[in-house]
């Protein structure tokens, strides 16, 4: 006879997935990676000018595939030839100097509300995994799922290890991840600003559109999804909804 404890619904995990760029922080995180890389002489003035242009476009009109592809290729070029230890140190400095001041405190409070309910809070983002993990660690979140770069003998090659965690790929990764955890997607949550994350938000039972771009706003209104402007009153209402409606989970790990 098995000694395993009987399954208890309260033990089944609930995951809250949070996008990073313009959802948790203002702007594109890869831009801040570029700024620090320029300061250290890793990239040129032309590179940082292009990073700055993409940041401006991102803040003005939101991300698109062409901008993402260019930013991705440049970000991958930054890490090539560097060790994981070096890049973790770089990511820590980027967080302290650039990312922490750009955090949306309202979204951070929402993430912490989920933690108080016993939920797992995972960042899911096209941002490089090393940077995303530093953000998650500093905020006390469960973890991060970011874009991974191939490494050989502890040195990054500058090639992708898998796919960019973006668009439909982000939804596929989230679905597989929730399945591995044994989470019911109908009870899970997702937060994002970008229309590129419509597949992710469509996957879960509780979707919240944060600070949306125009296309996301139109889609959310058509689907009657919760739209959350980054205002204190809106965040208070959202936190009350999580506190009242979300099932609490007894933490097992």
> Catalytic site residues?
19, 21
Strand partners, 161: none
Ordered strands of the 120-128 beta sheet: 143-147, 120-128, 15-18, 189-192, 206-210, 226-228
The angle that helices 129-139 and 29-39 make with each other, rounded to 10 degrees, is 110
Burial 98-118 (b: 16+ CB within 10 A, else e): bbeeebbebbbebbebbbebb
Strand partners, 160: 149
Instruction: Write the CA distances from 234 to 117, 124, 136, 208, integer angstroms.
Output: 20, 23, 24, 12
Query: Under the phi-then-psi rule, with left for phi > 0, alpha for psi from -120 to 50, and beta for the rest, what region is 228?
Result: beta
């Amino acid at each position: 006879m098995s000694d395993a404890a009987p399954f208890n619904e309260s033990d089944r995990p609930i995951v809250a997935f949070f996008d990073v760029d313009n959802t948790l922080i203002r702007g594109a995180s890869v831009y801040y990676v570029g700024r620090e890389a320029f300061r250290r002489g890793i990239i040129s003035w032309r590179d940082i000018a292009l990073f700055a242009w993409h940041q401006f476009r991102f803040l003005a009109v939101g991300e698109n595939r062409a901008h993402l592809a260019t930013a991705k290729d440049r970000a991958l070029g930054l890490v090539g030839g560097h060790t994981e230890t070096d890049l973790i140190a770089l990511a820590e400095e980027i967080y302290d100097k650039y990312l922490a001041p750009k955090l949306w405190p309202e979204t951070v409070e929402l993430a912490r509300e989920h933690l108080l309910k016993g939920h797992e809070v995972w960042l899911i983002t096209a941002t490089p995994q090393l940077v995303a993990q530093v953000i998650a660690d500093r905020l006390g979140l469960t973890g991060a799922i970011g874009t991974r770069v191939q490494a050989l003998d502890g040195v990054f090659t500058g090639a992708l290890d898998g796919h960019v965690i973006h668009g439909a790929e982000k939804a596929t990764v989230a679905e597989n991840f929730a399945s591995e955890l044994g989470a019911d997607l109908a009870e899970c949550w997702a937060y994002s600003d970008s229309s590129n994350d419509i597949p992710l938000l469509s996957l879960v039972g509780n979707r919240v559109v944060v600070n949306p771009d125009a296309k996301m706003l139109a889609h959310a209104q058509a689907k009657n999804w919760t739209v959350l402007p980054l205002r204190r009153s809106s965040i208070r209402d959202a936190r009350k909804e999580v506190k009242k409606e979300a099932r609490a989970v007894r933490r097992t790990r």
